[in-house]
A and B are shown apart, each in its own frame.
Chain A
Amino acid sequence: MAIAGADPLAAYQGLLCGGLGALCGGCENPALQISNTIVFVTPLITTGIAVALPFRAGLFNIGAEGQLLAGAVTYTVIGIKLGNGPAPVVIPVALIGGMLAGSLWAGIAGVLKALVGAHEVVTTIMLNYVAQWLVRFLIIGGPLQAPNGFSASPPTGPGARLPTLLPHDNSLIIFGLPSSVYRVHTGLFIALAAAALFAFLLWRTSLGYEIRAVGQSQRAARYAGVDVRRTIIVTMLIAGAFSGLAGAIQIAGVDHGLTDKYFSDTTGFDAIAVALLGLGSATGIILASILLGALHAGGAVMQSDAGISANLVLVLQALILFSIAANFVGAIRRLLPFGRKPAALPPDLPPAAGLMSESATPTVQT
Chain B
Amino acid sequence: MVHKRLGILGLAAVALMIAAACGGSSPGTTAKQIKVGLVTDTGGLNDKSFNHLAYVGLQKAIADLGIKGDVIESKNGDEYVPNLTNFASKGYDLVLGNGFLMQPAIGTVAGQFPNVHFAIVDGAGTDASFKDLKLPNVQDLLFKEQESGALVGAMAGMLEKQGKGPANTHVIGAVGGISIPPVNHYIAGYKWAAAMEDPSIKVLVGYSNDFSDPTKCSSVAKSQIGNKAEFIFQVAGGCGLGALQAAGQAKVYSFGVDADQKDADPSVIASALKKVDVAVYTSIKSVVNGKFQGGETRFSLQNDATGYTLDNFNLPADVKAEVDGLAAKIKAGTLTPPADIPA
Contacts and interface: CB of A to CB of B under 8 A. Distances in A.
A23 B13 contact: yes
B168 interface: no
B90 interface: yes
A340 B175 CA distance: 60
A257 B180 contact: no
Contacts of B212: 264
Interface string A289-318: 010000001011101100101100010000
A150 B180 contact: yes
B81 interface: yes
B129 A265 contact: no
Contact of A300 (B18, B77, B82): B82
Interface of B: 2-3, 6, 9-10, 13-14, 17-18, 22-24, 26, 37, 42, 44-45, 70-73, 75-83, 85-87, 89-91, 101, 104, 109, 111-114, 127-131, 178-180, 207, 209-210, 212
By Cβ-Cβ distance, the 5 closest A-B pairs, closest first, are A261-B77, A310-B73, A155-B128, A176-B23, A27-B90
Nearest to B184: A149
A265 B78 contact: yes
A31 B14 contact: yes
A183 B81 contact: yes
A254 interface: yes
A341 to B, nearest CB: 13
Contacts of A148: 129-131
B145 to A, nearest CB: 16
B77 A283 contact: no
Interface of A: 20-24, 26-32, 34, 36, 39-40, 136, 140-141, 146, 148-152, 154-155, 170, 175-178, 180-181, 183, 254-257, 259-266, 283, 286-287, 290, 297, 299-301, 303-304, 307, 309-310, 314
A321 to B, nearest CB: 15
Contacts of B209: 136, 140-141
A274 to B, nearest CB: 14
A214 B70 CA distance: 53
A20 B130 CA distance: 33
Given A176-B22, A178-B112, A310-B73, A261 B82 contact: no
A251 B192 CA distance: 41
A32 B89 contact: yes
A151 B180 contact: yes
Given A148-B130, A300-B83, A304-B37, A31 B178 contact: no
24 contacts: A22-B9, A28-B86, A29-B17, A29-B22, A29-B90, A31-B18, A32-B85, A136-B209, A152-B104, A177-B23, A177-B89, A177-B112, A183-B81, A255-B78, A259-B101, A260-B101, A261-B76, A264-B42, A264-B77, A264-B212, A300-B83, A303-B73, A310-B45, A310-B72
A255 B111 CA distance: 17
A304 B114 CA distance: 22
Nearest to A38: B10
B75 A310 contact: yes
A290 B73 CA distance: 22
Contact of B23 (A29, A39, A136, A303): A29
B3 A286 contact: yes
A162 to B, nearest CB: 15
A76 to B, nearest CB: 12
A21 B129 contact: no
A140 B179 contact: yes
Contact of B72 (A154, A175, A176, A300): A300
Contacts of B82: 36, 39, 183, 297, 300
Nearest to B17: A30
A27 B23 contact: yes
Contact of B3 (A141, A283, A299, A309): A283
Contacts of A254: 78
Contacts of B14: 21, 30-31, 34, 175
Contacts of B42: 264
B201 to A, nearest CB: 26
B10 A176 contact: no
Contacts of B78: 40, 254-255, 261, 265
B90 A26 contact: yes
A264 B3 contact: no
Contact of A27 (B6, B24, B70, B85): B24
B129 A154 contact: yes
B86 A180 contact: no
A146 B180 CA distance: 12
Nearest to A31: B14
B24 A264 contact: no
Nearest to B127: A155
A206 to B, nearest CB: 28
Given A170-B112, A177-B23, A259 B77 contact: yes
Contacts of B22: 24, 26-29, 176
Nearest to B88: A181
Contacts of B77: 259-265
Nearest to A255: B78
A305 to B, nearest CB: 8
Given A31-B18, A283-B3, A300-B72, A24 B180 contact: no
A259 B22 CA distance: 34
A319 B178 CA distance: 36
Given A27-B90, A300-B82, 20 more contacts: A23-B13, A24-B22, A27-B89, A30-B13, A32-B86, A140-B179, A140-B207, A151-B101, A155-B129, A170-B114, A178-B112, A180-B111, A181-B85, A255-B78, A263-B210, A264-B77, A265-B76, A283-B2, A303-B72, A309-B73
A34 B104 CA distance: 23
Contacts of B72: 300, 303-304, 310
A146 B130 contact: yes
Nearest to B131: A148
A20 B10 CA distance: 7
Given A151-B178, A261-B78, A304 B87 contact: yes
A224 B38 CA distance: 62
Contacts of B6: 20, 290
A175 B44 CA distance: 32
